[in-house]
Structure 1
Amino acid sequence: MTASLHNSLFLLMQQAIHALPAPVLRALDAWSHRVARRRALKRQQKWQQRKAAAKAAPAAGAVYHLKPWRD
């Protein structure tokens, strides 16, 4: 039941989008591109921060503490 409902809603949305005038479609496409670019830059910044943190961690010197044996 829900799968067919989701399918029909998807098809309805697809038809509605294709019925929009070209200038509106271009505006939506430009907005989508800006959002995607902004998210990609955020992902890149997070990745660079993780990479910098990983580089700095070995320089600080990781210390391993042995745990006593358990009987």
Structure 2
Amino acid sequence: MTASLHNSLILVASQLVRSLPAPVLRALDAWSHRVARRRALKRQQKWQRQKAAKAAAAAAPAAAYHLKPWRD
């Protein structure tokens, strides 16, 4: 029952979108393009931050270990 309801809602939504006037479709397309570009930019910035953090960790000197003298 739920699957058939889901399919019928998708069908109705797709018919509704197809029936919209061309200027509205262009506006929706432009909006979705802006959203996709914004999300892609965020993903790229996140990747660059991770890459920079890995490079900084690799470039940082290892913690120096100082051997403590034995006690008598």
Q: Same fold (TM over 0.5)?
A: yes
Matched, 1:54 2:57: no
Shift of 1:62: 4.9
Q: Matched residues in 1 for 2:2 and 2:44: separation?
A: 37
Structure 1: which 5+ runs fail to align? 64-71
Provide the TM-score with structure 2 as the length reference. 0.82
Highest Rg: 1 or 2? 2
Per the alignment, residue 70 of structure 2 pairs with none
CA distance in 1 between partners of 2:57 and 2:11 (Å): 51
Q: Report the CA distance shift for 1:58/1:9 in structure 2 as closer, same or farther (over 3 A).
A: same
Aligned counterparts, 1:3-22, within 5 A: 3-22=3-22
Percent sequence identity is 76
Residues 20-66 of structure 1, C-alpha deviations (whole Å, 9 max, x = no match): 00000000000000000000000000000000001111112456xxx
The equivalent of 2:23 in structure 1 is 23
Number of paired residues?
A: 63
Structure 2 runs not aligned, ≥5 long: 64-72
Alignment-mate amino acid for residue 39 of structure 2 = R
